[in-house]
Amino acid sequence: MYPTPTFDHSKSVDDFKRYGISVFEPYKDGKFERKKSFGRFEIYPFELVHDVPCFGFYITHTDMGSFIYLSDTEYCKYRFPRVNHILVEANYDKRIIDSSHPAKEHILRGHLELQTTKDFISANKTPDLRNIILCHLSSENADPETMQKEVQSVAGKWVNVEVACAGMELELSKYPW
């Protein structure tokens, strides 16, 4: 039985539905749906480690290849074969986190630290990896330039590493440049 996520993690679901956008709710009605298809996209949810129910997604498409979405988790115990693209949280850097921050425990217990992000990428890095997009960076506890540089050092020079920003567009193809 899966509880419904908190408002923080699903607050826009009804808006999307109202605009006719399909939404995958793997936790709907306390049940867990293992796979959903939208056209040529196949989406597989997996549980994350957070202080409320939260899911990551492994998404496949014939042209895009495979894509992992991973955010709002302390770590990920899963490994994914032949990954082409990763959108992953790099929320904070333990070297600069403010120890007096009122939400410190929430940050530490439900979000990826830079080293954990790098470990996840190392564990899932394959010759097929094309893009890594870093998301959910803390405005107070992360330096985007440092995060990008350190992840690039793990990913390798042939992988495009970006920090997500408003309006960003990125071509997701499984084929090499």
Domain range list for the chain:
34-163
In the prediction, which pLDDT does 133 show? Answer: 98
Q: Tens place of pLDDT for every residue, the chain, 177 residues?
A: 444 545 566 778 889 999 999 888 887 777 778 899 999 999 999 999 887 778 999 999 999 999 999 998 999 999 998 899 999 999 889 898 877 777 777 676 788 999 999 999 999 999 999 999 999 998 888 999 999 999 999 999 999 999 999 999 999 999 876
Residue with tokens 């567009």: 169
DSSP state letter for 94? T
DSSP state letter for 58? E
**Strand order across the 41-47 sheet:** 36-38, 41-47, 55-61, 65-70, 85-89, 131-135, 160-163
Could you tell me the two tokens for 139? 């405005």
Q: Which amino acid is at 120?
A: F
Q: Which residues contact 49 (CB under 8 A, 6 or more apart)?
A: 73, 74, 75, 76, 110
Residues paired with 41 in a beta bridge: 38
In the prediction, which pLDDT does 7 show? Answer: 54
In the prediction, which pLDDT does 143 show? Answer: 95
Write out the CATH class of domain 34-163. Answer: alpha beta
In the prediction, which pLDDT does 107 show? Answer: 72
Could you tell me the two tokens for 104? 């410190």
